[in-house]
Amino acid sequence: MSKIVFVTKPVVALKQVTIRFAGDSGDGMQLTGDRFTMDTASLGNDLSTLPNFPAEIRAPQGTVLGVSSFQLHFADHHVQTAGDAPDVLVAMNPAALKANIKDMQRGATIIVDADEFTTRNLSKVGYETNPLEDGTLDSFKLHPVALTSLTVAALSELTLTRKEAERSKNMFALGLLTWMYHRPTEATENFLNAKFAKKPEILKANLLAYRTGWNYGETTEDFSVSFEIAKAVMPKGKYRNISGNAAMAYGLIAASQRAELKLFLGSYPITPASDILHELSKHKKFGVVTFQAEDEIAAIGSALGASYGGALGITTTSGPGVALKSEMIGLGVMLELPLIIIDVQRGGPSTGLPTKTEQADLLQALFGRNGESPVAVIAPSHASDCFDIAIEAARIATTYRVPVIVLSDGYIANGSEPWMIPDVDSLPDLRVEFAKSQEDFMPYLRNPETLARPWAIPGTKGIEHRIGGLEKADKTGAISYDPANHDFMVRTRAAKVAGIKVPDLEVSDPTGDAQVLYLGWGSTYGPVSAAVEVLRDNGEKIAQAHIRFLNPFPKNLGEVLKKYPKVIVPEMNMGQLAMLLRAEFLKDVISFNQVRGLPFTTAELVETAMGVLHD
């Protein structure tokens, strides 16, 4: 009798890998990518993600316009971006292959659901012949896997229709990739148990498909090796994976707790900011009140009213919503009350690219109101930085009694990364003093350091005062039509914003004699940092700085610009920060722009810098 011998497949160690899951919106690519990310985070890899949703709300199934994707870059070292080009593409249909093949480099691995490459599906996306058979993919490591039929066969004993069974094929794909990269299975199985606890047949289907995918990798001859990526060396602490929107929500809650204020969010749902509303609505135990208003104007009006009543008033939106909120932001400037406006920027104008990322609202944030209505403007640099920037927004708003616009964007909001949970006691003390009952109360008698007027809670005896959009007299707050008073009050409000204390701009220049500076803001931080790392590894001398405070600018920004003969400013717009720098500092910066709805790649930023360095 012959003896059965089990052959263990070789395991290859990698330093990093970038994987992209792609398919129809109904294929569950975001869930698949999110679960793979969570399992990867639990192993201690550093990571960065890039979810990419269809711009169309309901694109026809099987078309390029309806493709949804999720990209994850993870490594045994610090990760700056979600990766330029995927090393592995999982394509659930011909549309997913067509939409993503242009991003793949020779030698990359492509796993496709071979069952979906039917004549009908191929014709939908313009394939005249089957790319799995005509040699067009010969330069890639192609793995046609019958994902659909294998999933249906695995679930044949369950009381599900074929269509219901097919919906679990994303779990088959997840199981296969989990095997390929030695990810743990327990967390995903626990997640599925919780998610489908009330739907036992659906739970069985997903668990069985997930395990079948894992077993397929273990037993098939098509995959001869698996891969391991060691833990990243990171500062000691407790970590969790977090998206930008979740970090923003947690930062706002932390700020309200440190300020000992109730948090009120007045919001109207809008992509890609809605997740902040969703997250905050879960935390009523921390005194959070969320209000989904009937429109953008009502949303900010309720937030401003909450600030008037002594709460931390916040509203969340995207670019089109900021336009609708502009008059109420101007009222907030006149009332001189704390107010936080979070603008998660997206492609535009209007709703043409509602799910794509852009940095097109900087000038709108600074100048998009009638009259002289200055506000503070700040911007996070990456997903976990949203926590810190939310606390900064609260500090500025409550200390100086001004509206603060926070410019996040779709890349930061939807992307995720490991976040070291801070010690609460290390967070700044944001407690404020409200005006107390007193005789001869003057609502516009200002703090000499901050120029902030008193925060007077309505109903407090002895400090009754007028409020509204009409100009007020200095100190007394009486309605005033005096030209000289109006001039004084306009200049004072501007001086208050200009005098906000922000940290100096930090510059990374290891050699101290670089002649070129890469200067970014917002979500360009990761790609620029990765490009600078590559350039320095190649022996190039280049400095880097990143602006988080956009109004007012850091006090030393002019000196920094003067020091470097050439300054490159990359932006996902047509050059808005560059225009401001030229106007204020008379520095002819080198503007590098794109508006593709996608973040910069490391490679294109390296190429741009090389052109400037060796010009």
Task: Kindly report, residue by residue over 214-260, the tens digit of the pLDDT.
Answer: 999 999 999 999 999 999 999 999 999 999 999 999 999 999 999 99
pLDDT in tens, 495-513: 999 999 999 999 999 999 9
Task: Report the first-to-last Cα separation within the chain, whole angstroms.
Answer: 75
Q: Where does the pLDDT of residue 2 fall: very low under 50, low under 70, confident under 90, or very high at 90 and above?
A: very low
DSSP 152-195: HHHTTTSS--HHHHHTTHHHHHHHHHHHHTT--SHHHHHHHHHH
pLDDT tens digits, residue range 455-473? Answer: 999 999 999 988 889 999 9
State how far the alpha carbon of 385 is from the alpha carbons of 51, 245, 381, in Å: 18, 10, 6
Half-sphere exposure for 361 (CA within 13 Å, toward CB): 32
**C-alpha to C-alpha distance for 292 and 319, rounded to whole angstroms:** 18
Q: Which two tokens stand for residue 103?
A: 């991003």
- Beta carbons of 48 and 415 less than 8 angstroms apart: yes
Q: Which two tokens stand for residue 150?
A: 């294998």
Q: What pLDDT was estimated at residue 384? A: 98
Assign 1 a pLDDT band (cuts: 50, 70, 90): very low
For residue 591, give the amino acid letter. S
Contact between residue 214 and residue 223 where contact means Cβ atoms under 8 Å apart = no
Domain range summary for the chain, segments of one domain joined by + = 11-229, 240-426, 433-480+494-501, 507-613
Residue 445 main-chain phi, psi, to 5 deg? -85, 115
Q: What are phi and psi of 211, to 5 degrees?
A: -70, -35
Residue-wise over 288-327: b if at least 16 C-beta within 10 A, else e?
Answer: bebbebeebbbbbbbbbebbbebbbbbbbbbbbbbbbbbb
Rounding to the nearest 10 degrees, give the CA dihedral for residues 576, 579, 584, 586. Answer: 150
Return the percentage of the chain with pLDDT > 70, whole number: 99
Average pLDDT over residues 299-303: 98
Let me know if the fold of 240-426 is the same as that of 507-613: yes
**Of all residues in the chain, what percent carry a pLDDT higher than 90?**
93
**CA angle (474, 480, 484) in 5-degree steps:** 70
Q: What is the third-level CATH fold of 240-426? A: Rossmann fold (3.40.50)
Q: What is the mean pLDDT of the chain?
A: 96
Q: How confident is the model at residue 349 (pLDDT cuts 50, 70, 90)?
A: confident
pLDDT at 421 over 90: yes
**CA-to-CA dists, residue 237 to 80, 242, 362, 422, angstroms:** 20, 15, 35, 9
- Alpha carbon 392 to its chain's center: 17
What's the pLDDT tens digit per position in 85-137?
999 999 999 999 999 999 999 999 999 999 999 999 999 999 999 999 999 99
Q: Tell me, what's the pLDDT at 466?
A: 83
Identify the H or E element spanning 389.
helix 385-400
Give residue 57's pLDDT band: very low, low, confident or very high (50, 70, 90).
Answer: confident
Judged against a pLDDT cut of 60, whether residue 382 lies above it is answered with yes
Which of 346, 325, 287 lies closest to 403, judged by CA? 325
The count of C-alpha atoms lying within 13 angstroms of the C-alpha of 464, restricted to the half-sphere facing its C-beta, is: 3
Please say whether the structural domain 11-229 has been given the CATH code 3.40.140.10.
no
Q: Residue 5 pLDDT > 60, yes or no?
A: no
Q: Which tokens sit at 610?
A: 């090389």
What does the pLDDT read at residue 597?
93
Q: What is the pLDDT of residue 339?
A: 98
Section 151-169 average pLDDT: 96
Backbone angles phi, psi at 592, to 5 degrees: -125, 115
Question: CA–CA separation, 245 vs 108, rounded Å?
Answer: 32
How far apart are alpha carbons 521 and 572 in whole angstroms? 10
Q: Residue 9 has which token pair? A: 């497949």
b/e per residue, 336-358, with b = 16+ CB within 10 A? bbbbbbbbbbbbbeeeebbbbbb
What's the pLDDT score for residue 68?
Answer: 96
Distances (CA, A) of 602 to 18, 80, 121, 415, 570: 14, 10, 34, 17, 12
Tell me the C-alpha distance between 380 and 415, whole Å: 13
Q: How confident is the model at residue 4 (pLDDT cuts 50, 70, 90)?
A: very low
Average pLDDT of the segment spanning 272-299: 97
pLDDT of residue 58: 79
pLDDT of residue 3: 45
So what CATH class is 507-613? alpha beta
The three-point CA angle 35-39-45 to 5° equals 130
Q: Under a CB-based contact definition with an 8 Å cutoff, are residues 504 and 492 in contact?
A: no
Query: Contact at 8 Å (CB) between 407 and 551?
Result: no
> Mean pLDDT lowest for which of 54-63, 190-199, 396-405, 545-554?
54-63
**Burial of 423 (C-beta count, 10 Å sphere; 0-12/13-18/19+):** exposed
Describe the crossing of helices 169-180 and 200-219 by its angle, rounded to 10 degrees. 40
**Two structure tokens written together for 474:** 């200095």
